[in-house]
């Protein structure tokens, strides 16, 4: 009887100790896991500085988003295989044609920095040509949805865009059609 009580007590103590150890481990693991999930996540909300993008052009040249500081920049995420993107491209072309030569109050101009989520270089180049995307800042790492820039900017659907001011601060997001014009008109000399 004494042996049974001693064995039962010992078993209970071991189980309690194991349970406490597991809870401590599990809570610490969850805390570390949640911290690790946020490593590298950058703020891409309006008012935040835009994270750097450094990717390759179709010609194999590295292009950096930061090289356009001093201008208003539309960072445009799209892909050749994306129907809604291709339908939006005429509006983006129109915006480029209108604002690339415009005079801005406190900026050296306007530029588009296109980030493709393609994984087929030929399809990407063909879509640039077909859609008349005449600006020179086209980049992609050809990783599709695994694109480093898409991850950094938390892009989960396309088309998606971010308008940056001359200091590289995000001033608007996901502008479509006429809304691109309305937003850019705020910064042009002579508009209110």
The length of the chain in residues reads 192
Q: Which of helix, strand or coil describes residue 139?
A: strand
């809604």: which residue's tokens? Answer: 84
Mean pLDDT of 53-78: 97
Q: How confident is the model at residue 19 (pLDDT cuts 50, 70, 90)?
A: low
CB 57 within 8 A of CB 139: yes
């590295």: which residue's tokens? Answer: 62
Distance separating alpha carbons of residues 129 and 135, to the nearest angstrom:
11
Q: Give 100-141 pLDDT, tens digit per residue.
A: 999 998 899 999 999 999 999 999 999 999 999 999 999 999
The pLDDT value recorded for residue 27 is 42
């Amino acid at each position: 009887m004494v042996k049974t009580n001693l064995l039962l007590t010992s078993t209970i103590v071991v189980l309690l100790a194991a349970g406490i150890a597991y809870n401590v481990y599990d809570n610490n693991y969850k805390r570390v896991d949640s911290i690790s999930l946020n490593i590298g996540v950058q703020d891409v909300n309006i008012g935040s500085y835009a994270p750097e993008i450094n990717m390759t052009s179709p010609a194999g040249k590295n292009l950096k988003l930061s090289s356009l500081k001093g201008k208003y920049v539309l960072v445009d995420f799209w892909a050749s295989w994306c129907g809604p993107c291709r339908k939006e491209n005429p509006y983006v072309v129109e915006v480029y044609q209108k604002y690339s030569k415009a005079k801005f109050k406190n900026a050296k101009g306007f530029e588009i920095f296109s980030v493709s989520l393609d994984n087929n270089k030929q399809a990407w180049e063909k879509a640039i040509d077909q859609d008349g995307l005449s600006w020179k800042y086209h980049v992609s790492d050809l990783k599709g949805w695994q694109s480093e820039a898409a991850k950094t900017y938390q892009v989960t659907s396309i088309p998606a865009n971010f308008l940056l001011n001359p200091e590289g601060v995000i001033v608007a997001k996901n502008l479509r059609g006429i809304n691109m014009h309305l937003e850019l008109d705020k910064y042009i000399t002579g508009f209110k």
